[in-house]
Amino acid sequence: MADNREEETKEGDQEPQGAVGGEDVFDDPILEQGAVVLRGYVIERISTEDPGRQVCSEDLGGRPNEQQDPQVKEVVEQLLKIADEMNRNAELQQLINQVQGNCAQDIFMKVARSIFADGINWGRVVALFHLAYRLIHKALTTNHLENIRMVISWVLQVIREQLYSWLVQQGGWEGVICGFSRWRTVAVVASVVLVATIVYYRKTR
């Protein structure tokens, strides 16, 4: 199995695609769709929170019409529903807002990995996406467009290193459509705030 993953990595290195290009995108459906879904999430959040700003997949390093896939649309829609629940938590928003738009990779990774320190579920995946959205939106508004590719590559690294096996068990990104239940949100938010706050304030300051 490891040999197959190494071969996939080499193939991905040979044919750069998507938002990050080169070594950060693999010939792997879970990672490829993860980048597409993340871009879709960012686009929809911007259209809601900053409606005067027009953003398309190409602006985020994606391909034309990639968001037209009905399956991608459904996954993004479900993630946004989860995000709406999490956005009501002021503590979580304060934590995410503490991460500077030009933060270093090690700070992003400490906060992102802490989200999954004691488990993985779709609410925590959305927390990771929302953190990335905040940084990408900041890059757009400050015209630091080079940071967009960087942030997406960081998210894909977290997916590859921490979420890959779990996503396979869920049946891929489509698992969110039937795999999330409303009651998990409260527990997810409480756990994210507790763990990530400790990591961020004690290890990065």
Q: What's the pLDDT tens digit per position in 11-58?
A: 434 333 334 343 344 578 999 999 999 999 999 999 999 999 999 999
The SS3 of residue 117 is coil
User: What is the CATH classification number for the domain harbouring 37?
Assistant: 1.10.437.10
Is residue 169 in some structural domain?
Answer: yes
**Does residue 114 surpass a pLDDT of 50?**
yes
Domain presence at residue 17: no
Task: From 101, 97, 95, 43, select the one nearest 67 (Cα to Cα).
Answer: 43
Please tell me which residue, 134 or 89, carries the higher pLDDT value.
134
What integer pLDDT is reported at residue 85 of this predicted model? 75
The reported pLDDT for the residue numbered 124 is: 86
Domain presence at residue 84: yes
Whether the pLDDT of residue 132 is over 80: the answer is: yes
7 lies in some domain: no
Compute the distance between CA of residue 73 and CA of residue 173 in angstroms, rounded to an integer.
11
Is residue 82 a part of any domain in this protein? yes
Amino acid at 76: V
Query: Is residue 4 in some structural domain?
Result: no
Give the total number of structural domains in the chain: 1
Residue 6 lies in a domain: no
Residue 167 structure tokens: 């996503």
If you average pLDDT over every residue of the chain, what do you get?
A: 77
Q: What is the pLDDT of residue 140?
A: 92
Q: For residue 20, is it within any domain?
A: no
Q: Which of 24-28, 94-98, 183-187 has the lowest mean pLDDT?
A: 183-187
Lowest average pLDDT, out of 18-27, 46-55, 149-158, 167-176, goes to 18-27
Q: Domain limits at 105?
A: 29-204
Cβ partners under 8 Å of residue 177, min gap 6 = 74, 75, 78
